[in-house]
Chains A and B, each alone.
Chain A
Amino acid sequence: MSAYRLDYLDQLESEAIHIMREVAGQFEKPALLFSGGKDSITLVHLALKAFRPGKFPFPLVHIDTGHNFPEALQFRDELAATIGEKLVVRKVEDTIKSRQLTEPKGKFASRNALQTYTLLDTIEEFGFDACIGGARRDEEKARAKERIFSVRDEFGQWNPKLQRPELWNTYNGRISKGENVRVFPISNWTELDIWNYIKRENIALPSIYFAHERTVLEHEGQLIALSEFIQLDDTDSIVTKKVRYRTVGDMTCTAAVESSASGIDDIIREITATKTSERGETRIDDKVSEAAMEDRKKNGYF
């Protein structure tokens, strides 16, 4: 390899920084959607590289479902405070009240779908014209199809059959009033790339990503953390296991994986060897139907 050749991680990093700066250069009111998960933490790390010593040209925005892991919330607040950037939190709970939304029922009733309402309201409240998100194309088959600058109509809807051409690294962020763009700087990263990058850059993560003892409900092969948000039945099998989280979503729809990986190297080893995909192993919400993600995106989801 010549001295002037970039390793793939450096290439991905540079591409992501370039995309973030395009957002800063092209939009009036961008936002970075921050969930407290590893992908959005990586985004924040990339934003530091893109904009320091200046301030971020956008606030961090968290749509709080009320079902988050407390560790992730604490991490969110500490991170925002450490880097001294603005954090906007909007709660699904409030949207449910103000818009009289109906909460889903059932054993693992998830507010995942309701998030979209809060997100769209928040976009409207602040007049956000671009929202940076940490979605990756390797996650899911509908995401594999999405542009890096993904235009949404005034209802937040994605139209997968009518995406704009997107050539080279030239991003067209022009939109009509009411529309907004979802921007995905780490589109081309895989789960393993993220972990290798976190290791290389020594990025701090919430503790739940590492193996810890937890009391979980064993349900159809998946391990769901006990919390006040899920309903227990007498027949449920409750066990205490050493687990870690591979993704961090809501407590109601994210499953833990059994693991003794206490450090980043152990995690990378496990992810390299795994035969199950990230979402397949950890997300309950994708199992609803074959096109669950596509349908949610069409409705304004990230």
Chain B
Amino acid sequence: MEKSVIRDPGFYVMVGIGLAVMFIAPVMLDLFTIMQFTQYVVLSVFALSLGYIWGFGGILSFGQAAFFGLGAYTFAVASINMGSTTIPMVLAFIIPTIFGAALGYFMFYGRLSDVYLGVVTLVVALIFWKLINHTAGPEYSIGKARLGGFNGIPSIPTLHIPGDTGAWLDPAQMFQVFMAILIIIYIALRFLIASDFGRVSIGIRENETRASLLGYDVRLQKVIVFAIGGGIAGLAGAMWATYQSFIDPNSVSMEMSAKALVWVMAGGVGTLAGPIIGCILLQWLTLKLGTVDVVNSIAVLGAIMMVLVLALPKGIVPTAKMLAMNGWTLWNRRPNRDAVTRKAVKHE
């Protein structure tokens, strides 16, 4: 529960798997699969952003794609104008963070209730989507970058080595850089959550009234958590933009926000491994179902989601953990019982 990160075996398992995939996958797998994996990595970062604010700050955002899209467009516009990708990547984190802080300030200092918070985040994402869709004309350009409305922005630069705009990353390198980003964000969030700041957030999630009755400023705390989540989602958006070298309003769509909610819910709210696993599993399923033309993939996905929620209401990771713990106790009991019987036999 509150054990430190460095004593949690799960942490090492996750980082270990991450590092192994990062270094082994490019050697073992073909290009197409690597690019498929890259997509999962980007979306996992997006899933983490929601998994963090929802699971560890008690903030349920129905419009997390607003930050994803903001990051993506920030990166697209900045990198097209600058010709470099390093600073745009940083901006894609900073600008959504600032936007998250501003929106969070309005919501949390305005004492919006949870329901309204959900509605506001949803509406903000919708407004973004509408706005971007209306920027098709040539008059909507920022510097050299035309926003393109529903047509999107093409020819977004590929990531290059910082300081050397000629050194583009090939797909395998990009995969490795993105894996590194995912691992770093996972580690950073684990330590943030285990810090005193993170524990106060968890306290707020558990009981907001008590947190303020202990003297903590719940509003400020929530604004910070929300802003960090926004920044991470923005970074994922930038990764998405450079990976596809193209971005359109779909990145801000309801579907994008909903997907993140589904991943987190399926994987398990209150964990970080959960959102990642939920994202990969469900994206993979969507891909598999997409190849079968007979059934509507969205409908089947919806059905799977409902089964998951009913069968594993806590999500995949918490359920697996519980099963593992139960198995472990059962396993441990056997030798103990043997020891007791042996003792009893001895006494006779």
Chains A and B bind each other: no
| B residues with CB within 8 A of A | none
| A residues with CB within 8 A of B | none
